């Protein structure tokens, strides 16, 4: 009883006035985030043996982070410019905090401000990466720095691991874990609060075909599997300009015709929630289905149009714990008569992978197309009754006073799945708009500072025993 009382007393003294302490670090946090978002760390080409495997800007972002941490007194390590870590404390076990420096592309014409310059307006911090994932990475770093500055001595090694390729397959973390120890436990500040204890499996596939006899001459839409495409362009072998303009007016969709190119403007969204977006490819193929005898448009109408759950293909699946499967039509390309369709599915259970492949095979063969499963990632699950989940939930509840909302599962994928005994933890608070992967991405400034306090408490609790 005495030891418990002493432990409780020391915790209270250490955490005393922590909110005011964090206020003294606000300017540093904003400055750091401003520096990080200034790097256009978007993957353009993967060059595995280069000294900048994911591009020069990704390399610069990692270099900036590690240089700052080293100046602040942390031990740092760069692993081939794939990833790096910032370490504090000693002990046999490692507490990992896993975040990423790469971001998805930003169509600057869709933004109200420069996506690679931090803009603070009406209490919101706008920039690509502000909430996914440079903002949360900054919050975790500042939390770690405050603990070090206050003299906290963790009984575990605490590692903030920063990768450069999370948005395009996490090859960064694969390389890192092949060179460095895997953390024993941890969290990834790359999702939502209160906490994510389960992440759906993932499967991406392509469909190919010869469409040289179709009315479509060219089609360009999408560049990433994890984004609902917001822009689609096509050229036709026939003239339907007047019909297209009437279609846009009737439906209310956004689009135009420019230099003989039919253009549709949708709304981007994260592939884990495609229902939140407006797929630009659907706009054009709905028009083609209504106005032509295009075989490809018939294929789309039969199997894809206005469907984000895979119901038309027959692989709509639901699990009580992991919820519904989602299906995102991410890419459509037609050049020189050759078709490529790219789809990303977020899958409740690993056993459902075979169901998806069987359905895709059947649909493709019906129209004379071929398909290829590009890759799968197994679901990630941590028991919600585990000490890791319970400790993190307690930290969240102490700061927010929210004892109502339970931990959840999502369709997104984070670094947590590579560690095993790790979960996704923030930064998006309950009831906030999810703006990951879309134009005008932002994090609410007060939420940013609140996340610092939650992560500080989490690091403290998980590393002091």
By annotation, the residues acting in catalysis are 102, 166
Residue 465 and residue 453: Cα distance in Å, rounded? Answer: 19
- As a whole number of angstroms, the distance between CA 355 and CA 368 comes to 20
> What is the Cα–Cα distance from 447 to 125, expressed in whole angstroms?
10
Phi, psi of 461, rounded to the nearest 5 degrees: -65, -40
Comparing CA positions, the residue from 146, 148, 14 lying closest to residue 74 is: 148
**3 state SS of 11:** helix
Alpha helical stretches, state H, 134-262: 134-149, 171-179, 241-251
Gyration radius of the chain over CA positions: 24
For 348, the 3-state DSSP assignment is coil
Residue with tokens 């095993």: 420
**Cα-based torsion angle of the residue sequence 168, 172, 174, 177 in order, rounded to the nearest 10 degrees:** -150
Query: 10 Å Cβ neighbour count for 341?
Result: 27
What tokens were used for 25? 């670090």
- Spatial distance between the Cα atoms of 23 and 25, rounded to a whole number of angstroms: 5
């Amino acid at each position: 009883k005495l030891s418990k009382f002493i432990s409780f007393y020391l915790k209270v003294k250490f955490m005393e006035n922590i909110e005011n302490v964090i206020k003294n670090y606000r300017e540093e946090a904003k400055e750091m985030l401003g520096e990080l978002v200034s790097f256009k760390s978007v993957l353009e080409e993967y060059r595995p043996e280069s000294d900048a495997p994911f591009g020069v800007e990704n390399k610069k972002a990692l270099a900036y982070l590690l240089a700052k941490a080293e100046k602040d007194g942390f031990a740092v390590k760069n692993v081939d410019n794939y990833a790096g870590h910032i370490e504090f404390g000693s002990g046999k076990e490692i507490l990992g905090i896993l975040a990423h420096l790469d971001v998805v592309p930003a169509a600057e014409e869709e933004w109200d401000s420069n996506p690679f310059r931090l803009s603070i307006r009406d209490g919101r911090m706008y920039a690509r990466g502000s909430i996914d994932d440079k903002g949360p990475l900054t919050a975790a770093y500042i939390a770690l720095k405050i603990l070090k500055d206050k003299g906290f001595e963790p009984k575990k090694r605490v590692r903030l691991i920063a990768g450069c390729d999370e948005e395009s397959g996490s090859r960064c973390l694969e390389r890192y874990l092949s060179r460095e120890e895997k953390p024993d436990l941890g969290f990834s500040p790359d999702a939502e609060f209160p906490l994510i204890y389960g992440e759906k499996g993932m499967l991406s596939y392509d469909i190919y075909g010869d469409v040289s006899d179709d009315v479509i001459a060219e089609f360009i839409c999408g560049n990433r599997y994890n984004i609902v495409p917001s822009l689609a362009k096509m050229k036709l072998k026939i003239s339907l300009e007047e019909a297209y303009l009437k279609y846009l007016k009737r439906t209310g969709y956004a689009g135009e015709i420019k230099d003989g190119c039919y253009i549709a403007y949708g709304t981007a969204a994260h592939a884990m929630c495609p229902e939140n977006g407006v797929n630009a490819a659907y706009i054009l193929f709905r028009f083609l289905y209504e106005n032509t005898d295009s075989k490809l448009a018939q294929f789309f109408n039969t199997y894809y149009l206005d469907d984000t759950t895979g119901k038309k293909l027959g692989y709509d699946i639901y699990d009580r714990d992991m919820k519904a499967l989602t299906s995102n039509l991410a890419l459509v390309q037609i050049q020189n008569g050759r078709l490529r369709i790219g789809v990303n599915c977020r899958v409740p259970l690993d056993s459902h992978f075979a169901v998806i492949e069987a359905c895709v095979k059947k649909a493709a063969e019906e129209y004379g197309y071929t398909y290829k499963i590009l890759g799968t990632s197994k679901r990630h699950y941590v028991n919600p009754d585990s000490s890791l989940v319970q400790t993190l939930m307690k930290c969240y509840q102490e700061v927010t006073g929210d004892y109502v909302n339970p931990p959840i599962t999502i369709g997104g994928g984070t670094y947590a799945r590579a560690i095993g005994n790790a979960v996704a933890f923030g930064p998006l608070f309950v009831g906030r708009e999810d703006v990951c992967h879309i134009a005008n991405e932002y994090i609410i400034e007060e939420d940013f500072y609140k996340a610092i306090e939650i992560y500080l408490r989490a690091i403290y609790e998980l590393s002091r025993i």
